[in-house]
Amino acid sequence: MITVIDYGAGNVKSIANILENLGAEYKISSDKEEVLSADALIFPGQGHFGQAVKNLETSGLKNAVIEAATVKKIKFLGICLGLQILFEESEEAPEAKGLSIFKGTVKKFECGKIPQIGWNNIKTTSNNSFLTDDYFYFVNSYYVEPQDKSIISSVCTYGNVDFCASVEKDNITAVQFHPEKSSDCGKSFFQKWLKN
C-alpha cells in the first residue's frame, strides 16, 4: 500500500488521480503510524518551504518521515517541495530546518522568469536507475544544491543555471519536476517508479 503524505500542503489530489489511473493501491494520510507502516511513501510538493516544515513539526510527522525514509528504509518518492524538504535549509525560509536527510541547501534562481513554469528537458546521470532523458513539467523558483553530487540522478538547465532535477539514493527518489502533471512522460515515470 502506498501512503501519500498529507501534511496540509502539497498537490495530493493530482497524485491520487494518477495512482488511480494506474490502478495502484494507495491512501492519503497524516497519521504517523500509517506513514511508518507504509510499503511506499509519496511526499507531494507544492507550497512554501517554511510552512511545510512548520506543518510537519506541528503534526508530529517530521520525525516519522525521517524515520520512515532513513531507518525503516521505506520506498520514498519526493516531488518538487518533497525534494527540497529533504535538505537542510532553503533560501525561501532561512529560519526553517528541513528534514536534513541529505546535506545541502535550496537556492533561488537569480535569472530568467521566476518561477520557471513549463516543460524542460532533463539529462540523466550515471546514478539514475529508471529515468529517461525527456521533457517534464516544472513549477519552481528554487532548486536544490546537494553537497554530495553523487546522489544527483538528473540535471536540467534554466537560464544560466545547470541545476539538480532529481536525486536517488538507496530507497529514496526525489524530483524537482511534477511527474503527475507531465502527461505520458509522467505516467511512464510513475509506472517505472512503482516497479523499481
Catalytic residues: 80, 178, 180
How many beta carbons lie within 10 A of that of residue 42, not counting itself?
26
Rounded to whole angstroms, the Cα distance separating 73 from 30 reads 19
Three-state DSSP state, 4? strand
Q: Is 79 exposed, middle or buried (0-12, 13-18, 19+ CB in 10 A)?
A: buried
Q: Which residues neighbour 129 within 8 Å (Cβ) at sequence distance 6 or greater?
A: 153, 168, 196
Set of cell numbers at residue 67: 524515520
Which sign, positive or negative, has the C-alpha torsion 70, 68, 73, 174? Answer: negative
Which sign, positive or negative, has the C-alpha torsion 153, 171, 190, 177? Answer: negative
Reported residue count of the chain is 196
Set of cell numbers at residue 28: 492519503
